[in-house]
Amino acid sequence: MTAAASDPTVGEASEGTILRRILSRFPPSSAAVGPGDDAAVLDLAGGPVVATVDTLVHGPDFRLAWSSGFDLGWKSAAVNLADIAAMGARPVALLVALAMPEDTRLSFVEALADGLRAACDRLAPGCAVEGGDLTVSDTLTMAVTALGTLSGPPIRRSGASAGDVVALAGAAGEAARGLHLLFERFRDADGTPVPVATDDLSAAERHALAAQLRPEPPIALGPVAARAGATAMMDVSDGLLLDATRLAEASGVTLDLARDALGPDADTALAGGEDHALLATFPVGGVPAGFRVIGRVTPRGGDPVLVDGAPYGGRGGWDPYQDWDSARG
């Protein structure tokens, strides 16, 4: 085996491979919930705290030609709030680290802060930015840490059991349609992104763009699902098919999804990401309002996810290390 084969670059590896390389260098976690779920759960003196972090980088995660400062602030809050909700927790605080080029206008920074505040007010009232860090960088980057509190045990990815039903709260596929629209309609002849003009867009196209640039995940339904007895739950950030696979593998079961429950464009719903819906499993008869049943949990068979009882032939989901080239396009 050559040195290159035994020591691949991050561009040659998957996100899961990179995480395994990092985590194998640490002792087993002593946290109530450690690496492998949507967020960690730390047992502190005052009670458990749920914590998560997510990074948005100019290029693979957003384009300034397409996202305003307000859009970026909103989305950076929303994606983190969804991870807290996916544990059945209530978000209470954000910590924001912002690395900016020196020529960034202060008006952009103010708009970003307005977007952060508006997303918190709309999606998780009472949650606010409580601290963070500023630095200079050639690439605009935001890293947001979200903290939340629990009123009961955390809902993990690993609790689904055969006989449960699979349910979804929130959109599936809308953000992917918005991203496709951006790449299809708002690039010049050499592929460079150009500013978004909505005047000639249909109402459906505007809705898809909003789902991509300012997602509205159902944050309040996270604790609702926990109180209703959800057995497993996670945020659908990387595509329904990929994230359902992660939940199925963590629980040691198979999720059999119903195509007709995913709407008229089931393939986009399965493959698309960034809607930040909540995917959960419940005992039969225990699905709360706001969730819709999209499948059932069966004993583990060959594939972790089936669609109408059969393996799904298409590829779905977003892995930043596997999909980086398309993100640059």
Q: What angle do CA 207, 68, 145 make, to 5 degrees?
A: 95
- The answer to the question of whether 71 is labelled as a binding residue is no
- The answer to the question of whether 190 is labelled as a binding residue is no
- The answer to the question of whether 16 is labelled as a binding residue is no
- The answer to the question of whether 139 is labelled as a binding residue is no
- The answer to the question of whether 52 is labelled as a binding residue is yes
- The answer to the question of whether 318 is labelled as a binding residue is yes
- The answer to the question of whether 151 is labelled as a binding residue is no
- The answer to the question of whether 83 is labelled as a binding residue is yes
Strand partners, 166: 281, 295
- The answer to the question of whether 274 is labelled as a binding residue is yes
Phi-psi region of 285 (alpha: psi -120 to 50; beta: other; left: phi over 0): left
DSSP conformation class of 137: -
DSSP conformation class of 104: -
A 10 A CB-CB count for 65 gives 14
Instruction: Give the E-state strand segments of the chain in sequence order.
Output: 40-44, 47-57, 90-100, 128-136, 141-149, 165-169, 232-236, 253-257, 277-282, 292-299, 305-307, 310-311
Treating both helix axes as pointing N-terminal to C-terminal, what angle do 203-213 and 174-185 enclose, rounded to 10 degrees? 100
Please give the radius of gyration of the chain, using alpha carbons only, rounded to the nearest integer: 20
Q: Are strands 90-100 and 47-57 parallel, antiparallel or unpaired?
A: unpaired
- The answer to the question of whether 200 is labelled as a binding residue is no
Is residue 280 within 8 Å of 225, Cβ to Cβ? Answer: yes
Between the CA of residue 205 and those of 99, 101, 179, 198, 210, what are the distances in Å? 32, 32, 10, 9, 9
Between the CA of residue 98 and those of 41, 59, 116, 260, what are the distances in Å? 25, 15, 12, 42
- The answer to the question of whether 132 is labelled as a binding residue is yes
Give the integer Cα–Cα distance in Å for 196 and 187: 9
- The answer to the question of whether 265 is labelled as a binding residue is no
Annotated binding residues for substrate: 61, 274, 318
Annotated binding residues for ATP: 132-133, 157, 237
Annotated binding residues: 38, 52, 54, 61, 83, 132-133, 157, 235, 237-238, 274, 318
Annotated binding residues for Mg(2+): 38, 52, 54, 83, 133, 235, 238
